[in-house]
Amino acid sequence: MDFIDLPKVELHLHLDCSLSYEVVSRIDPSITLDDYCRDFIAPVQCHSLAEYLVHAEHGIRLMQTISQLEWVTLGLLQQLQAENVRYAEIRFAPLLHTRKGLTPAEVVEAVSRALVQGMAETGVEARLILCTLRHFTEAQSMETAYLTEQFHGDIVVGFDIAGDEAGFPVDNHIAAFRYVTAKGIPSTAHAGEARGPESVREVLAHFHPKRLGHGVRSVEDPGLLDGLKSRNIHLEICPTSNVQTAIYGDVCSHAVNGLYQKGFSLNINTDGRTISNITLTEEYNNLHRCFGWGKEDFLRTNLMALDAAFIPPPLKEKLKAELREAYMAS
């Protein structure tokens, strides 16, 4: 069964981990395909999340000017169009793209402009989530929160924390999450990826996110799972990425099917299309192969994704109607 033509929704997608070779070679023609495969794509299984994240630096290095940011953003929209992603929330950390003199605000403006252009050219609906990172100082985290408030609206729709969950505590970021929450800005947070249930509990207690990036290690604590379900915390599941970061030995061992069968709100994502060397269609194919998921399951998870998306209800309902119609006709 080929799922490429099915409409899809992706909520957990890192801009700096999703550079196509076409875009990379345009920015730096000296990078060969062999270089790209070695540096930009992480091993099939790393020893840790930290090892996986090392490969993101190669993309970040090529995203330091307005033109580079625009090319990367437009290129990602084209990737989404190619496999019929109808709605995506794309995340990035503006403070990582200031090495050549851009201000963080200029970074957000450049990506936002390119996103609007890309939506017009591809027909893909997309929004942005701004990220702080685990290793950032409190001041850097607050700066990212202020940026999110400044640009929050039609394009920038939420706030996130990413990075090395196991290596850095939450302390530097509590104030930033309190700030965006007080401003009515929705948030998601990476947790339950590189650390276990205690990290998820910590994030829920201090950050109060509406969604969790990954969250899969919550299955190690049945009490925590009950809490996630009762609070309707949506899980942004990234199966291939979780195999790469050594949470699971293979996709067929992943907890996603058990969580889905128990009625958790979740959807399927690539995390980083380049760093994980995966498309959303391939993620769907893997779940079909491992768990027998069919189009009814993907429709259900995509509708759950739209329910959890950081967009106004009228747009959610419009997209949900389009998905239902397309799945009925397929």
Catalytic site residue from 70, 83, 193, 283: 193
Whether 63 is covered by a domain: the verdict is: yes
Tokens 């990078």, residue located: 31
| Catalytic residue flag (residue 193) | yes
Whether 247 is covered by a domain: the verdict is: yes
Whether 2 is covered by a domain: the verdict is: no
* Segment 298-307 mean pLDDT: 99
Distance CA(253)–CA(277), nearest Å, equals 19
Alpha-carbon distance values, 211 to 106, 245, 304 (Å): 28, 20, 12
Contact 319, 125 (CB under 8 A): yes
The total of other beta-carbon atoms located within 10 Å of residue 117's CB is 14
Contact 128, 152 (CB under 8 A): no
**Beta strands, E only, 242-326:** 266-268
Whether 131 is covered by a domain: the verdict is: yes
Q: What is the pLDDT of residues 251-298, one digit of tens each?
A: 999 999 999 999 999 999 999 999 999 999 999 999 999 999 999 999
Distance CA(211)–CA(236), nearest Å, equals 7
Whether 1 is covered by a domain: the verdict is: no
Sorted by sequence, the CB contacts under 8 Å of residue 240 that are 6+ apart come out as 251, 270, 271, 276, 278, 282, 283, 286
Say what the pTM is.
Answer: 0.96
Whether 22 is covered by a domain: the verdict is: yes
**Tally of domains in the chain:** 1
Q: What is the pLDDT of residues 219-255, one digit of tens each?
A: 999 999 999 999 999 999 999 999 998 899 999 999 9
Whether 158 is covered by a domain: the verdict is: yes
CATH number of the domain that residue 280 is part of: 3.20.20.140
Whether 135 is covered by a domain: the verdict is: yes
Q: What is the pLDDT of residues 144-188, one digit of tens each?
A: 999 999 999 999 999 999 998 878 889 999 999 999 999 999 999
* Segment 97-119 mean pLDDT: 99
Answer yes or no: is pLDDT of 1 > 80: no
Contact 101, 143 (CB under 8 A): no
- The boundaries of the domain holding residue 285 are 8-329
Beta bridge partners of 266: 235
